[in-house]
Amino acid sequence: MDPYLEVGLRSPGPDDQDTPDLECSICFSQFNNVFRTPKMLQCQHTFCLECLARMNVKSAKPDSIQCPLCRGLTPLPALGLPKLTTDPAVVSYLPAAMQRVYSIRFNRKKGKLQVKRPTDAAPSLPTVRSVSQSLDVGLPSPPEGDGERGDLEAGRGRRVRALLRVCRRPGCKASLLVSVVVMTVLLTGIIIFLKGHFSKRFKILSVK
């Protein structure tokens, strides 16, 4: 039986006190020792690594995690999200083959959790080949306001490039020149007309 299936967690006995929650309170999946490793925040609330990674890629503050229960902030360790404290109480309830927690890398830019192949794995433990090598958790959100500004700049750039491509054509260059001349003549005529019109109005008012 694959020990990574969501079965086989040790059921608490009648004498067990303060039994930890064996499911992540965000995704309601059972903890394991790979991507759903139980990670404890400074507020002592525990969530699976996968959910914390999904929260982190969407956060405007990637250097900390805000607890979804109490809203407390936990600064991330220097080596990243996977180095948060693993909840030993929860791990103690995992099957024997899952007591050893795998080392995981978190590549935030690519939105991936990746298993680091252990070099000292005991022969009795399942190999890393029995689990997925990586897990996509989503790409980081752009900084606030940058998304809309980036879309506007991209649209403006596309319009400018299209205009430049059109203007490179010989026929279009001639048409553009004619259009500029016609617009200049029209604007000059309008200015002269308005100037003459207002001059007449002033003369009439002066006579009165």
Q: What is the pLDDT along the chain (208 residues), one digit of tens a residue?
A: 344 444 455 555 545 556 788 899 999 999 998 899 999 999 999 999 999 999 999 888 889 999 999 999 999 998 889 999 999 999 988 888 888 888 889 988 888 898 876 544 444 444 444 456 888 888 886 665 555 555 555 566 666 565 555 555 555 566 777 788 888 988 888 888 887 776 766 666 666 5
Query: Same domain for 58 and 136?
Result: yes
E strand spans, 4-163:
38-40, 46-48, 64-66, 73-75, 85-86, 104-107, 112-115, 134-136
Residue-number span of the structural domain to which 196 is assigned: 147-207
* Angle, vertex CA 202, rays to CA 197 and CA 208, nearest 5: 130
Q: What is the pLDDT of residue 169?
A: 54
Report the distance separating Cα 135 and Cα 100, nearest Å: 19
Query: Same domain for 78 and 151?
Result: no
Residue 155 included in any domain: yes
Q: What is the pLDDT of residue 173?
A: 63
Q: What is the pLDDT of residue 127?
A: 46
Query: Same domain for 60 and 100?
Result: yes
Burial class of residue 128, CB neighbours in 10 A (0-12, 13-18, 19+)? middle
pTM: 0.57
Residue 122 included in any domain: no
Residue 134 included in any domain: yes
Query: Same domain for 137 and 163?
Result: no
Number of domain units in the chain: 2
Q: What is the pLDDT of residue 131?
A: 53
Query: Same domain for 44 and 79?
Result: yes
Report the distance separating Cα 8 and Cα 19, nearest Å: 16
Query: Same domain for 96 and 42?
Result: yes
Read off the amino acid at residue 125.
L
Report the distance separating Cα 31 and Cα 65, nearest Å: 19
Query: Same domain for 56 and 103?
Result: yes
Q: What is the pLDDT of residue 49?
A: 93
Query: Same domain for 66 and 96?
Result: yes
Q: What is the pLDDT of residue 38?
A: 94
Query: Same domain for 45 and 98?
Result: yes
The three-state (H, E, C) secondary structure of 109-146, written as one string: CCCEEEECCCCCCCCCCCCHHHCCCEEECCCCCCCCCH
Residue 29 included in any domain: no
Are 114 and 133 in contact by the 8 Å Cβ rule? The answer is yes
Q: What is the pLDDT of residue 179?
A: 81
Query: Same domain for 90 and 160?
Result: no
Residue 87 included in any domain: yes
